[in-house]
Amino acid sequence: MDILYQQGQKAKNASYKLARLSILEKTKGLLAVSEALWEKREFILQENQKDMMNAKQVGISKALLDRLLLTEKRIFVMTEGIKQVAQLEDPVGEIIKMKKRPNGLQIGQKRVPLGVIGMIYEARPNVTADAFALCFKAGNAVILKGGKEALFSNRAIVQIIQETLLKIGLPEDAVQLIQDTDRKTTLDFMKLHKYVDVLIPRGGSHLIKTVVENSTIPIIETGVGNCHIYVDEFANCDQGVDIVFNAKTQRPGVCNAIETLLVHESIAQPFLSKLIPKLKSYSVEIRGDQKVKILFPEVKEANETDWSEEYLDYTLAIKIVSSLEEAMSHIRCYSSGHSEAIITENYSHAQKFLEEIDAAAVYVNASTRFTDGYEFGFGAEIGISTQKLHARGPIGLKELTTTKYIIYGSGQIRM
C-alpha cells in the first residue's frame, strides 16, 4: 500500500503541473511520445512476445490472444492515434457560458481537468498508450493497472513514455504503472480516493462488477458489449451478410463485436444460407434457436444463457423473429447498452429503431465495430461508457474533463 500511496502522491503533484500546460507544450509532448514509441517498436514487440508466450502457456483463448498481440501495424496505428489526439482541439480552459447577474456578478463556467484518473483494464496494451494520450491532452495524470497478461508490454510502453517526457522537461509522473499483479493490490487501488479523482474499469463483466462493488473512488463505468444486429425483412441481404460477418469476425475479442444476430422470419432462409457458410469458414460456432435449428439442423441449439453472453470469441447466437417489435423487445431484454444495429432499406423501420433502442451507439446499415474513439474521430478512447451520467459512448477528451464556476465581482456582498 505504501507504493500505491507514493504513486498517488506523485500523480497528484503531476496533475497540478499538467493542468497549467499550454497547448504547445501538450502537443510537443504527445508528438515526442508518438515518435519515441515508433522508434523503439522493436523493444515493444520483444516485450509483447514475452506476454504472448506466457498467455499461450496458460491456455488463453485465440480471441483474447488477438487482443494481447502487438504487431508493427498495430504500433503504427497506436502512434498515429497519439498524433491525432495532439491535433485535436484542447477542451481545457473553454468558457462554456458567462452571464451577468442583476447585482453585477459575472458568473461563468469553465472546462478543467478531472485531476488524477485511475484505470484498471485487461489484456489490451494499446489501451496504455491511448489512456496516456487522452489524459495528458486533457490535463490529467493517469495511474494504470493493466492485466498481468500484458505486464511486459505495458511496462515497455510506460517506460518509453516516462523517459520521453523527462527528456523534454515535462512531468514524467503524468503516467504511472502499477506493476504488482496481486489481487489485493488491485483492491487497494480501488480505495485510493485520497489521490485518484475518477476510476475507469475496462474489461469483462467480472472486472467491472468487482470495481463497482469495491471502489471508494467515483467510477466511469465501461460496460460489457452484448451487441446485436437485427436483419429486417426489408434488408439488402448481400449488404447484411457483409456487415454481420465483419461485426463478428473482424476482431471477435473486443466489446463492439456482435454476440447475437436477430433475423426476420421472411428472409431467414435465404439470408442465413448465405451467412452461415461464410461464418463457418472462420470456424464460428453457431448457436441457434428452434426456428434456426429447423432450417439448419447442424447448428448447436441455443439456451437461455446464450442471449445474455458476451462470448468475446468465435461464437454467435442467432434468433429468428417475426417482427421489428419482437427484435426490439429481445434487445431491450438482453442488451448491455453498448452498440446495436439494424439492417434495413425501410426508412420508418430505421427511424423507429434509432428512436426506441436505448444504447450508447445505435446504427443503421453499418457494423457495430465502428464504436471506437479512433473511428469516431477522437484520436483514441479510454473505453466505451454504457452508463448515462457524465459520459456515454467512446470516452474522449471532453469526457475526461469537468467544469468549475468562475465568478468576477466588484465588491459585492450578500445581503
Q: What is the C-alpha to C-alpha distance for residues 260 and 146, in angstroms, rounded to an integer?
A: 29
Model pLDDT, residue 106: 97
Residue holding cell 483494464?
121
On whether residue 239 sits in a domain, the answer given is: yes
Burial of 407 (0-12, 13-18, 19+ CB in 10 A): exposed
Cα–Cα dist 105/409, whole Å: 5
Q: Which residues of the chain have pLDDT under 50?
A: none
Contact 239, 247 (CB under 8 A): no
Instruction: Return the closest-CA partner of residue 342 out of 261, 225, 250, 252.
Output: 261
Q: Which pLDDT score is estimated for 64?
A: 82
Residue 401 lies in a domain: yes
- For the stretch 356-393, pLDDT in tens is 999 999 999 999 999 998 899 887 788 899 888 888 99
Please check whether residue 240 lies inside any domain of the structure: yes
Sheet with 141-145, edge to edge strand ranges: 175-177, 141-145, 116-121, 198-202
Please tell me the predicted confidence (pLDDT) of residue 124: 87
* C-beta separation of 376 from 88 below 8 A: no
Q: Which domain holds residue 284?
A: 227-370
Q: Give yes or no: residues 125 and 254 share one domain.
A: no
Task: Report the 3 state secondary structure along 292-354.
Answer: HHHHCCCCEECCHHHHHCCCCCCEEEEEEECCHHHHHHHHHHHCCCCEEEEECCCHHHHHHHH
How far apart (Å, rounded) are the C-alpha atoms in residues 51 and 47? Answer: 7
Pairing of β 141-145 and β 116-121: parallel
For residue 192, the domain's CATH number is 3.40.605.10
How many Cα neighbours within 13 Å face the side chain of 210? 16
Question: Are residue 10 and residue 117 in the same domain, yes or no?
Answer: yes
Residue for cell digits 507504493? 3
299 with 343, same domain? yes
Q: What pLDDT is recorded for position 46?
A: 98
Quick: pLDDT tens for 388-407: 888 899 999 999 999 999 99
Residue 348, domain CATH: 3.40.309.10
- 387 and 239, same structural domain? no
28 and 137, same structural domain?
yes
Residue 376 lies in a domain: no
Backbone torsions φ then ψ of 243, nearest 5 degrees? -65, -45
- Per the structure, the count of domains in the chain is 2
What pTM did the predictor assign? 0.86
Q: Are residues 131 and 166 in the same domain?
A: yes
